[in-house]
């Protein structure tokens, strides 16, 4: 469902991954409200098309759906062909799609009543207690959250370079901060952006999975609870910094939306998807010539550590 959009030569074009729900859907809505033509992508055609309809119903016409499973090379290639043929460039890529990398022990219940009276830390503790971390979930977490994000990014790089102001916003997390990794060597390697390579990053992730399978996460200083999610986000942060150095012509930044009530948090959290998305869109729409290789927590520049 590609629809009729009215983008002129100066209209900015954005692609958003995982745009069918949660923060991603709101990012699409807010970017479109700022006059950006948005390619809302989702891995599921039906869910994606329904999301676009929802936005069109509130008067946002410049939104197009295109299927994208970020772990599927042919799906990525099809999206790239579409963007190239239709627009010849991409101005903004928002890498939003992700999974928790865990098995949830509670049915999703968006009523939020069970959180009444809980503060931030109590909700976080509740969430952490209500997940299990099987190795398959951890592997999927790395495949989607790190490798999928990276493969989409690499595939659209030439299109971003065809823009006069190409931007990438990697939706990251406070869970990706280096302080959560107590293994000093790993922390050091992930912060040494001058010497870190893609190959070394892959090796570190392989090592994480090896330690996971050997039940040695704690002993080796990897983060506990949502461990694959945390490691994948730390890897995305490092990758974003490497990419920013390699491509000074682009703005590549990471954005933590805040603790938001979506499916990934089992509807726990302190912000609405609209509030969380605002923190991402702010980074996507920073003024020309703004920062690159940075991390923004709830809209403000902060430390990767």
User: Least distance (Å) from ligand NAP to the CB of residue 283?
Assistant: 13
- Residue pair 295/278 in contact by the 8 Å Cβ criterion: no
C-alpha 242, offset from chain centre:
17
User: Least distance (Å) from ligand NAP to the CB of residue 257?
Assistant: 5
Q: Which residue is nearest to ligand NAP (CB)?
A: 22
Bridge partners for 301 per DSSP:
296
- 3-state secondary structure at position 34: coil
Give 109's contacts (C-beta < 8 A, 6+ positions apart). 266, 267
Give 52's contacts (C-beta < 8 A, 6+ positions apart). 1, 3, 40, 63, 64, 65
For tokens 């990525």, name the residue.
76
User: Which C-beta is closer to ligand NAP: that of 163 or that of 279?
Assistant: 279
- Residue pair 91/165 in contact by the 8 Å Cβ criterion: yes
User: Which C-beta is closer to ligand NAP: that of 39 or that of 249?
Assistant: 39
Q: Which residues bind ligand NAP (CB under 6 A)?
A: 17-18, 20-24, 42-44, 47, 68-71, 96-99, 144, 148, 171, 173, 256-257, 259-260, 262-265, 269
User: Which C-beta is closer to ligand NAP: that of 162 or that of 174?
Assistant: 174
295 is an active site residue = no
User: Least distance (Å) from ligand NAP to the CB of residue 140?
Assistant: 9
For residues 278 and 166, give the distance between their C-alpha atoms in angstroms, rounded to a whole number. 20
User: Which C-beta is closer to ligand NAP: that of 47 or that of 207?
Assistant: 47
Question: Which residue out of 229, 239, 259, 295 is catalytically annotated?
Answer: 229
User: Least distance (Å) from ligand NAP to the CB of residue 45?
Assistant: 10
- Residue pair 253/168 in contact by the 8 Å Cβ criterion: yes
User: Least distance (Å) from ligand NAP to the CB of residue 93?
Assistant: 13
Count of other CB atoms within 10 angstroms of residue 199? 8
User: Which C-beta is closer to ligand NAP: that of 120 or that of 164?
Assistant: 120
Q: Which two tokens stand for residue 193?
A: 């952006």
User: Which C-beta is closer to ligand NAP: that of 11 or that of 71?
Assistant: 71
Closest by CA to 273, choosing from 7, 9, 23, 13, is: 23
Give 22's contacts (C-beta < 8 A, 6+ positions apart). 260, 262, 263, 264, 273
User: Least distance (Å) from ligand NAP to the CB of residue 292?
Assistant: 20
Catalytic residue set: 229
């Amino acid at each position: 469902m590609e629809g009729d959009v009215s983008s002129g030569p100066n209209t900015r074009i954005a692609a958003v991954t995982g745009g069918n729900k949660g923060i991603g859907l709101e990012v699409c809505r807010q970017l479109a409200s700022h006059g950006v033509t948005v390619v809302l992508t989702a891995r599921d055609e039906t869910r994606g098309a329904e999301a676009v309809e929802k936005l069109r119903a509130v008067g946002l016409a410049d939104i197009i759906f295109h299927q994208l499973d970020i772990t599927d090379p042919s799906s990525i290639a099809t999206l790239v062909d579409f963007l190239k043929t239709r627009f010849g460039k991409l101005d903004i890529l928002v890498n939003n799609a992700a999974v928790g990398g865990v098995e949830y022990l509670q049915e999703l219940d968006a009523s939020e009543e069970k959180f009444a009276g809980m503060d931030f830390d109590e909700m976080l503790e509740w969430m952490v207690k209500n997940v299990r971390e099987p190795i398959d979930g951890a592997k999927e977490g790395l495949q989607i959250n790190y490798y999928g994000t990276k493969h989409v990014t690499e595939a659209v790089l030439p299109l971003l370079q065809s823009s006069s102001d190409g931007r990438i916003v990697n939706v990251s997390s406070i869970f990706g901060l280096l302080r959560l990794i107590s293994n000093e060597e790993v922390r050091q390697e992930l912060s040494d952006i001058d010497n870190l390579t893609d190959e070394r990053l892959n090796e570190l992730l392989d090592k994480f999975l090896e330690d996971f399978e050997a039940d040695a996460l704690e002993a080796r200083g990897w983060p506990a609870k949502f461990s694959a999610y945390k490691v994948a986000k730390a890897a995305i942060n490092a990758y974003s910094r490497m990419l920013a150095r390699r491509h000074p012509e682009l703005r590549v930044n990471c954005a933590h939306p805040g603790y938001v009530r979506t499916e990934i948090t089992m509807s726990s959290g302190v912000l609405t998807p609209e509030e969380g998305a605002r923190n991402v869109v702010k980074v996507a729409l920073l003024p020309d010539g703004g920062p690159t290789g940075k991390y923004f927590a709830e809209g403000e520049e902060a430390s990767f550590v």
